[in-house]
């Protein structure tokens, strides 16, 4: 049984994992503490589903911070991603990134941005809750002039929302620790324009409000972050309650939002509530191995669901939205498929299925065909990117060729259509730009398209191409 078959089986199996666990209630009686065991029924499936958005984003944001040197820094990636990228599943090969990891506890942050010589730029801000906000973008008329954005939370010390001279806009984030990610289409096939864009990227700066107003930066309290995991499943098994206590302490929850209320309600019986110090001796003990198994099952279900042709209608358009506009189901799916994606108005991510209904496997070659009329209804540009199915990483190859598109390189036919080949060797007569190389082995692979600023009405009826197997 191959991996994808197992995914499908897992995805069609409805399981409700219940566990009886014990929590300690401490009572002070005559200066002596007595511990009493209390039985608590925990729906572990519900626990994992309502935690997934937080676990995934905690893992991503904190691993990025560790890699790039901590918080309150901006790191500009002036080269397109390659197969060494391991911090996030399904990275893109379309845009350059500026990743700003922000600690908003003591002071608001001012993000200073230039005008960009690019037809696509967006700024996305995301906290541990994985609600996605895009306050600025070329779609909105931004980045054609220099702008300053102030970012804060409801808990940021010393700031009450007052206007600041020289600040063009203000954004209130939901978390003390957030990522502010700029995506810039680099026009990689135009070397001169590419270099101009890279130079513009290097002028992006951050400063605290205190520094911006000519003062000294406020001292930042040291803080101990719970351990990250190589995979999200590691957190689910090893330190879920510790991570969730940390997340609860640094996230703004809206009592009117049903998803916020539900996640708090799930954790309260376990001894995890906002505003307290995590104490492993005072919280409910849960079976980490069982929780991990459930998280892996949910991961498999969501991976399988993404290949369902009906998913475009039911799920694709509802991903990566702000709080109050997204369902729990969408939050789980986007956290599994690849955190830090863009909402549909910015980008659509159709997954490519096959003509025979089987998952693509590197033991075979494939072709993806589109006529000019069958190309997606894109705005600035589109792409097709190849990943391994198990981890969501680029397929390693000497050419560092992971996608077909305006930045990854492509060659249209005379009629404006295109054929994209996934093959171990370059097929005869096929343009190199349209060849995505693979290593011949038993490895499930998949193609994700990205359609930037798509015509959403046309996307509802557009049929994504299917990959055709070329060899047996």
Q: What is the pLDDT of residues 96-109, one digit of tens each?
A: 999 999 999 999 99
Residues 74-125 pLDDT 10s: 999 898 888 988 777 888 889 999 999 999 999 999 999 999 999 999 999 9
Residues 166-210 pLDDT 10s: 999 999 999 999 999 999 999 998 999 999 999 999 999 999 999
pLDDT over threshold 50, residue 8: no
pLDDT over threshold 70, residue 377: yes
Mark which of 193, 211, 229 sits at the end of a domain.
Answer: 211
Whether 22 maps to a domain, the answer reads no
Q: How much of the chain exceeds pLDDT 90, in percent?
A: 77
Q: The CATH number of the domain where 376 resides is what?
A: 2.60.120.600
Whether 339 maps to a domain, the answer reads no
Residues 212-233 pLDDT 10s: 999 998 888 889 999 999 999 9
* pLDDT value of residue 314: 52
Residues 324-333 pLDDT 10s: 999 999 999 9
Cβ neighbour number for residue 274 with a 10 Å cutoff: 15
Nearest to 85 by CA among 283, 311, 425, 340: 340
Whether 311 maps to a domain, the answer reads no
**Domain range spanning residue 96?**
58-211
* pLDDT value of residue 40: 56
Mark which of 159, 190, 211 sits at the end of a domain.
Answer: 211
* pLDDT value of residue 25: 32
Whether 451 maps to a domain, the answer reads yes
* pLDDT value of residue 23: 34
Mark which of 166, 187, 211 sits at the end of a domain.
Answer: 211
**Averaged pLDDT, 280-306:** 93
* pLDDT value of residue 305: 83
Whether 9 maps to a domain, the answer reads no
* pLDDT value of residue 80: 87
* Local confidence band at 254 (pLDDT 50, 70, 90 cut-offs): very high
Whether 234 maps to a domain, the answer reads no
Whether 243 maps to a domain, the answer reads no
* pLDDT value of residue 186: 95
* Tally of domains in the chain: 2
Q: Compute the distance between CA of residue 77 and CA of residue 362 in angstroms, rounded to an integer.
A: 30
* Local confidence band at 20 (pLDDT 50, 70, 90 cut-offs): very low
Whether 48 maps to a domain, the answer reads no
* pLDDT value of residue 312: 55
């Amino acid at each position: 049984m191959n991996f994808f078959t197992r995914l499908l089986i897992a995805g069609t199996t409805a399981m409700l994992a219940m566990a009886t666990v014990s929590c300690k209630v401490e009572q002070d009686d005559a200066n002596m503490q007595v511990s009493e065991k209390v039985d608590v029924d925990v729906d572990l499936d519900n626990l994992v589903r309502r935690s997934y958005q937080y676990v995934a984003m905690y893992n991503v944001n904190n691993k990025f911070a560790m890699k790039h040197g901590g918080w309150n820094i901006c790191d500009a990636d002036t080269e397109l991603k390659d197969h060494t990228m391991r911090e996030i599943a399904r990275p893109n090969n379309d845009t350059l990134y500026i990743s700003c990891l922000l600690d908003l506890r003591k002071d608001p942050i001012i993000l200073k941005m230039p005008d960009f010589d690019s037809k696509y730029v967006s700024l996305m801000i995301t906290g541990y809750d994985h609600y996605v906000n895009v306050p600025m973008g070329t779609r909105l008329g931004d980045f054609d002039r220099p702008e300053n954005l102030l970012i804060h939370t409801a808990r940021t010390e010393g700031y009450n929302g007052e206007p600041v001279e020289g600040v063009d806009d203000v954004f209130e984030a939901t978390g003390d620790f957030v990522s502010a990610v700029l995506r810039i289409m680099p026009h990689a096939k135009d070397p001169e324009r590419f270099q101009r864009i890279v130079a513009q990227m290097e002028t992006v700066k951050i400063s605290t409000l205190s520094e911006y107003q000519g003062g000294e930066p406020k001292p930042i309290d040291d803080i101990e972050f719970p351990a990250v995991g190589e995979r999200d499943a590691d957190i689910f098994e090893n330190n879920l309650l510790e991570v969730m206590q940390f997340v609860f302490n640094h996230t703004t929850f809206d009592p009117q939002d049903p998803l916020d209320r539900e996640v708090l309600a799930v954790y309260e019986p376990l001894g995890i509530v906002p505003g307290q110090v995590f104490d492993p001796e005072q919280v409910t003990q849960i079976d980490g191995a069982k929780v991990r198994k459930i998280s892996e099952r949910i991961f498999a279900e969501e991976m399988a669901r993404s290949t369902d042709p009906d998913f475009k209608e039911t799920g694709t358009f509802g991903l990566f939205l702000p709080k109050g506009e997204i369902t729990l189901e969408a939050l789980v799916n986007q956290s599994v498929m690849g955190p830090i994606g863009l909402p549909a108005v910015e980008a659509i991510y159709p997954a490519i299925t096959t003509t025979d209904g089987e998952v693509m496997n590197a033991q075979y070659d494939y072709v993806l065909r589109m006529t000019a009329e069958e190309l997606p209804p894109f705005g600035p540009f589109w792409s097709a990117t190849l990943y391994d199915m198990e981890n969501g990483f680029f397929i390693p190859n000497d050419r560092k060729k992971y996608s077909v598109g305006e930045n990854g390189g492509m060659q249209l036919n005379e009629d404006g259509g295109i054929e994209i080949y996934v093959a171990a060797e370059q097929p005869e007569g096929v343009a190199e730009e349209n060849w995505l190389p693979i290593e011949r082995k038993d490895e499930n692979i998949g193609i994700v398209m990205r359609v930037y600023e798509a015509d959403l009405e046309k996307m509802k009826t557009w049929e994504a191409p299917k990959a055709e197997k070329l060899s047996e």
